[in-house]
Amino acid sequence: MIIVTGGAGFIGSNLVQGLNARGEEEIIVVDDLTDGTKFKNLVDARIADYLDKDVFLQMLLENVDFSEELRGVFHLGACSDTTEWNGKYMMENNFEYSKYLFHYCQEREVPFIYASSAAVYGNHTVFAESPANEEPLNVYGYSKLLFDQYLRRQEEFSAQVVGLRYFNVYGPREQHKGKMASVAYHLNQQCHDNGVVKLFEGCEGYGDGEQRRDFVYVDDVVAVNLFFMDNPQIRGIFNVGTGRSQPFNDVAKAVLAEYPEGRLQYVPFPEHLKGHYQSFTEADISALRRAGYDQPFLSVEEGVARYLKWLKKA
């Protein structure tokens, strides 16, 4: 049995697909379907059971055994809205919940692979997994950092614990995320509806559309998760990105390649995002490579082309 929290969400549902592709079907998906549109992410998935996240938490607190053969927990469930400033809600949902699940797994010697975030780095320009580089700009990033710090203080572990700091992930099954969906998703929607893709004008030393991010395709993220599942002896916190930043203009060009009549427009940089926006991210994936992960990552051009083909079929 494998548990995937956030399994109806973006990365979680793609991970379930990746597990299914391996023949894994004894999967418990944990999520919150208050937003019922997320059910679409599970329609073609093969799973053993679904549990609401509150029911699941109560079962953790009661020390319920889900299966004698629980082989691993992928913890992807969280509030990922970087514009959410309700710190009480964020800490309960992201930090406290994660602690309960971590201790549950340790008590049963079950591998625990969880989602951290590149948001822990804030405006730092060095993106290596070190406290010296960690200074989040929002309470979401802080909730992720706090859990990383909590684990760093643990003196010993009875089973694998891996934290994956995702950079800008994009790809299929993210439509439910609304404003938090990827740049590629929004630009495709804009061009499909209006024939125009919109990017921010320059700000904080960057030219129009030249803010740079490490955009990583979700299939590559799934592959990294499965690598750690296959190597339970590896522990630690690892960046998950391509290791190469690309400007937002590259994403726009990749989308416009599918819409010959489309055009690019720059809009003023929002005042409320100034000082709270990562204008540059680029994962240092040295630790991931040292851990033995040697697969290549898709470029923006490759990933966006693959993604748009999927969107046209969806």
Token pair of 67 as six digits: 């299966």
Residues with a known catalytic role:
140, 177
Inter-residue contact 38 to 14 (CB < 8 Å): no
Q: What is the 3-state secondary structure (H, E, C) of the chain?
A: CEEEECCCCHHHHHHHHHHHHCCCCCEEEEECCCCHHHHHHCCCCCCCEEEEHHHHHHHHHCCCCCCCCCCEEEECCCCCCCCCCCHHHHHHHHHHHHHHHHHHHHHHCCCEEEEEEHHHHCCCCCCCCCHHHCCCCCHHHHHHHHHHHHHHCCCCCCCCEEEEEECEEECCCCHHHHHHCCHHHHHHHHHHHHCEEEEECCECCECCCCCEECEEEHHHHHHHHHHHHHCCCCCEEEEECCCCCEEHHHHHHHHHCCCCCCEEEEECCCHHHCCCCCCECCCCCHHHHHCCCCCCCCCHHHHHHHHHHHHHHC
Q: Considering Cα of 310, then 31, then 293, then 81, what sign does the dihedral take?
A: positive
